[in-house]
Each structure stands twice: as C-alpha cells, then as structure tokens.
Structure 1
Amino acid sequence: MHVAMIGTGYVGLVSGTCFSEFGVDVVCVDKDRAKIEKLEQGVMPIYEPGLDDLVAKNVREGRLSFTADLSRAVKKADAVFIAVGTPTRRGDGHADLSYVYTAAKEIAAAMDGYTVVVTKSTVPVGTGDEVERIIREARPDAQFDVVSNPEFLREGSAISDFTHPDRVVIGTHSPRAQEVMRALYRPLHLIETPILFTSRTTSELIKYAANTFLATKISFINEVADLCEKVGADVQDVAKGIGLDGRIGKKFLHAGPGYGGSCFPKDTLALAHTARDIGVPLRIVETVIDINTKRKKAMAERVIAACGGSVAGKTIAVLGVAFKPNTDDMRDSPSLDILPQLQANGATVRAYDPEAMREAKALLPDVVWCDGTYETMEGADALVIITEWNQFRGLDFERVKALLRAPVLVDLRNIYNPDEMVRAGFDYHCIGRPLPLLHGEGK
C-alpha cells in the first residue's frame, strides 16, 4: 500500500508517520523545500512528544520519506490524503479552502490509475463534493473516489490518538474506496477500533459537531465556575459530580481561561457561519463562541484585580503561553489576549514556556522572555499560571515567595489547592473555587 500525504503540518506529519508505523509506504509532500530538507535531517516543524523518534525510526526503515515533488508521490499512491491548512478566512469567519482546492487540482494532474483522494483536513460540509468536481473537470476519464476521513488528534497526545483512537470515521459509499480505507486501517482492527462508514457529508459534519460539542462543554463549565464564585461553591467538585454521570462524562470539564488552539476556535466559527448561511443558525454554538471570546479578555481583569486594581508600573511573571501543555501551538491561545491587555494597562510582562517561546516571541515581541521557571519570577509583583505544564505543578513555594516582591499567585488552571496555598502565605486566586476565610478578600 502506498500513500501520499499532501501537507506536513500537524495533521499531515502525524498521520503520515503513524501510517508508516502501520507498515504503509508513505511519502509526505510539502511545497516548502526548506521544510522538507529539515524533515529529512530529522528536524521537526512542530513539537509533539515522541514524534521525532517515530519519524526517525520509519525513515530509517524505509517506509517514510519527504518530498516537494507532488507529482512523483501521487503517481505511485493508492490513496492521496489532503492534509493542508483550513484557517479561518479573514472578514467572514468561514474556513479558507483555497489550499484544499489547489491540492485537488494538482492531484488531478498527477493521478495514474485508480486513486482514493481523502480529505483529512477539517472542511465544511460539501467540500468533498467540490473536490470531486474539480478533479472530474480536470480529468473526466480518471478513476478515483473522494473520501472524507476527519482527524481527531489532540495536540500533545496525537500519536496515541492515531494508533489507539476512539473511532475512525470514513465518509464514502464506494465499495472500492471502502476496501482501500479498510486496508489502511486494518491494524486498528486488532484492537477492535470502531470504524464508522457514513456518507461524505455526514463524515464532514461529524468532525465539526464533535469539536463544537467539546468547546461547548468548556464554555459551559467556565460559566458554571463564575456562578460558583458568587455562591461559594467549588467548580471542581461540581465538575466531578456531573462528570460521573455516564451521559455527561468527565472530560473537558476543567474551568480555566477559555479554549484556544488550532481546532476549536476556527471550527466553531466555521460551523456557525455555514449554518447561518443556509438559514439554520446554531444559536448554542454562536453563544459558545461569544462566551469564549469574552472569557479570554476577562482573564487579564482578574490579574489586575489580584494586584489591587492596577498593574501600572508593576512586573507580572507568566508561566506558560501555549494554548495547552505538551505543544508549542500558540494559535488562539488565551495568553494572546491576556498578556497584551496587561501591557496596555502599564505592566511589564516576563514569561516562560518550555516549548512555545520561539513562536510566541514573534506574536508577543514586547514580552521579556526568560530562560526558566524561576528566572521569570525574579522581582515580579505577581505570578500568573496560564498553561498547566507538569513542571509548574510542583513549584518550590518558599523559593517562589523569595523571588516575588509580593506573594500574589493567580492560578488560571486550578493547579494548586487553595488551603495549602493560603497556609504557605500566598495571596492566592483561582477559578471557581472558594478560598479559606483567612484569605481576607476571599471571604
């Protein structure tokens, strides 16, 4: 079995590498020759735990290669995956499908014999129909099927998610295409992974519906956290109490500064705009988007309040700027709203992230970037935790207090126990949890 993976971004590189681990001959294609050269040298364009080793292993064993020559890769392929970016289009919130359609045209020109063309990129309902139209118009006599096969990879856990998924969704009614896709995913049959065959449009909608539902859970628990703060309840206990209900589930019920990343922000926007355009507005989704946008902006106000109502002339130490741990992805991270707002209110921001600083420096050029966790705190008037990297979960409290000008800690991820923090002498602020009476302002 031969596969061409068009695009070496997050989805393409992880998917292509994991297919090669299954024993498939995979060629990953990208127009960026410099990127291809780095990949051939073992330099990863993204941070994903374990990916560099898995790439090196499969390159060494001859199952994985990289090229800028799309035509050569497609001619040999039984299946060609389109795994290019579909960012939010400026101005209207729709997904930008220009990269997908360009790939379709180039695939059409290069196909040789029956080929399954698979949209792995997250695309709105109907995109597969347009991809098929583009290819058919360019190659009327070509033998091919267009299949939808959405990805469900969590950044930081992508390899495990691909090799041990909850399910595989494949959108096609073509028996011949189904046979090819079954062969590709046959290794997952051994671990009894459910493989759901649907129509192409249904498959496309499943991806958007899944991400939007998870985003809804996040926005829901964040609003519940705000209510908890007003009535003196504990949002973590509320989340546990409702999460034990099998109909609800415990995942994505962690209160915090709002969702970010490469999927939820753009996918909720795209689904809302698509639904509105066809006259079936999804009001819940629109509300989720609004809640999340306002929440990220409100987090800076929490920091300002913790600092006595003003950060003018103060230094704020920030731990973590990526949208989640175990990734270097800065897309729509809450830090992109919080840090500039603190700076606009007169604060100097010192920050550290284990993996995301290279990208963050370009996005937040006025931040003072530090080389380590404790260096960030030196002389700061408050410490803010935005991303819950493991190395931030066991801080030396005495060392932290010695480095800070004032023992103010704003924990936007609820890493620490409020009672322990107050006993340790901190002016501790968290999300949706009551603070001990001796906290003073937390009464």
Structure 2
Amino acid sequence: MTTFLLVIIYLAFISLGLPDSLLGAAWPVMQLDLEAPLETAGILFMTISGGTIISSLLSGKLLKRFGTGKVAFVSVLMTAGALLGFNFAPSVVWLIVCAIPLGLGAGAVDAGLNDYVATNYKAHHMSWLHSFWGVGATLGPIIMAQFILEDNSWRNGYFVISCLQFALVIILLFTLPLWSKVKKPALNEETGYSKDVINDEEAKDVKPLQIKGVNLALVSFLFYCGVEAIIVLWGSSFLVNVKGLSAATAAGCVSFYYAGITIGRFITGFITFKTTNRTLIRVGQIIALTGAVILILPLPSIFSLAGFIIVGLGLAPIFPCMLHETPTRFGKKHSQTIMGYQMAIAYSGTTFMPPLLGFIASFSTIGILPICIVIFVAIMLISSEKLNSLMKKKDLLKSRDTSSSVM
C-alpha cells in the first residue's frame, strides 16, 4: 500500500511539472493566434505565480483541515480545469482568468505533497520525487512542440496535458482512503529522534515563524530558487552576449543545466543511503559555487558549458534535501505550515529575482550573472550553515535531556 501511494505521488509530481514549462514553449504561436503583445506572457506568468504564492501560504491551514489527499485531489482538478480553459480560451482575458486556478492549484498540491513525503518517507524518495518533476517539465514542451509541428495548434497541446491531469484526478479520487492509512512517524537520520518530538517548540504554543531557524531556512529557499530561475531566464543571454556563443548553442547549454539538475536529483536519491541531508546540501552549495566561479573566469567557451552543468549538478540535491529536513528541523506539528511558507518564498524567488537581475543588467551588463550567482549561493550557504549550527545545538540539548531522564 505504501509503495502504491508513493507511485501515485510520483505521478502527481510529473503532472505538476507538465504545465510549468508549457507557456514559454507555446507562447510564440499563442501570441500570433490571439494577436497579443509580447509582454502578455509576463502578465500570465505573474498571475500564475501570484496564485501559487497565495495558495502556498494558505496550504498549512488547508492541509490540517482537509488532509493531503483531498487537497491534492482538488488542486489537480483545478489545474486540469484551468488547462482545459486554456484550450478553449477565445482571448487573452480568458487566459488570465484561467491562470488564476492554475496557480492556486499548483501551490497547494506542491506544498502538500512535499510535506507528506518529508514526513512519511525517507530522503531518497524526496530527491526522486523532484527528479520526476523534471521529467514532467521536460515532457511538457515536447508534447506541445509535437502538436505545433503537426498542425500549428497550441490548443491541442493544452488539451492533451489537461486530459493527462484529469486522468490523475480520477486516480486521486479512488485512492483518497490510502492517504490516512500510510502515515507513520519518521526518524531523524542524524539524531534518531522521532520527528514528532524533535523540537521543544512542539509542546509550546509557538507560531511557526517564531520557531528558531525558520527565517534562515526561508532565506535559503529564496536564494536557491533565485539562482535556479536566473540561469533559466538569462543563461542564454549571458552566453550569447558575453561568451560569444550562437543562440542555438547557448540554448543547448541551458538545457544541459536543466539535465544536470534532473539527473543529479536521481543520483542523489542513491547517495542519501550513505550520507545525510545536511551534508548533501553543503556539498551541493559548494559545487554550485565552483560552477559559478568557472563562469566568471575568462576561459574558453567550452568551460561555460561545464560551468552550467556543474551549477546544475550542485543545485540538484539542495532543494529536495532542504524540503525533507523541514519536519526534522522544525517539528511535525508545524511542518505543513512551514512547508507552505517555504514554497511561497521559493516561488517568490523564482518570480521576482530574474526581473530584478534583468533590471540591474539593463543599467550595466548581463555579464553580472555569474557574479550574482556567486553572491546568491554564498548567502544560501551562510544561512544554511547557521541553521545547521542551530540544529546541532538543539540536538545536543535534546541528547542531554534524554541522558538526564535516563539517569
């Protein structure tokens, strides 16, 4: 039963990744068909992101009241309906209307499934889960490109993705009873304590944001997603304008970066059997920092490709491992709410960091990209190490309390 539900969660994360890269792939054709200005894609993107941030912030209350299974069911139903609305949308206004439930559905299911896996499954499952998201994010543009090539119809691409989402809705509907049966206490890999009692804040009436270390975790998520999104949006521009590569070659380099993240997360799943989340986060940040430094150095263009791949491989374990650490760091009682805050901050980094870099680059040069990556990763590393130090102190105090009670 546990394995079967995990397969359902993996399928849900593939479906979560499918729509994420559709708009960018379809927009050149959508723009002509709807006679819309180029910047309309930005409005749609911001609308989807805004809905995702809002639902992520509210996800803690929703999950506690209705449970992960029901929230996942309704959220996927919303995204499926929204994608179907894209298929039939007669104008840009309808696209904006449909973008609202698309964002709201994505944020709630993302936070819910991440918390469920972090609480009930081991670290390797979290890494593989986000690897499956990469599968969905890769398949989305491929499906859309196929329909555009065949009959120049972006609508059919959205329709097929919507049908896949509705199929998942049916599966989630019939598996609703499983979600409450699989729950079990998970152990902290480093201390051995149950996540149900790992933090003293559990027994106190403490608000999630008042728990020590939460602000450090949020900073890490903000700058992680800032780095990831900046490379996706501005990586090609940097390679073309600074490194002198062709547009096609630059696009290939960025795709290798994404491949590095996806493959890296799959490999990380196996590495988690031998080491801890905290170690993987630290090593990943150091590797990402190394890749960014390579991009800064005046080396031949082949090193730029290597730099992007190294950054991608370095980023691979960070996000899933930080998510999986949430119940361990802050306690199971508040993990759903804090997970929602983390996802909201993550989406904020994805939404606002790239435009901020673009604004700064407009007054200077896109050559600042690797410098910004180095600064962002360094801030993330410092925040993470401070949080690790705080957690070690908590673990030590817990260990002393346990020893005292035994004596």
Band the TM-score falls in, shorter-chain normalisation: under 0.3
Give the greater-gyration-radius structure (CA). 1
Q: Counting strand residues as a fraction of each chain, which structure ranks higher?
A: 1
TM-score if structure 1 supplies the norm length? 0.22
TM-score if structure 2 supplies the norm length? 0.23
Q: Counting helix residues as a fraction of each chain, which structure ranks higher?
A: 2
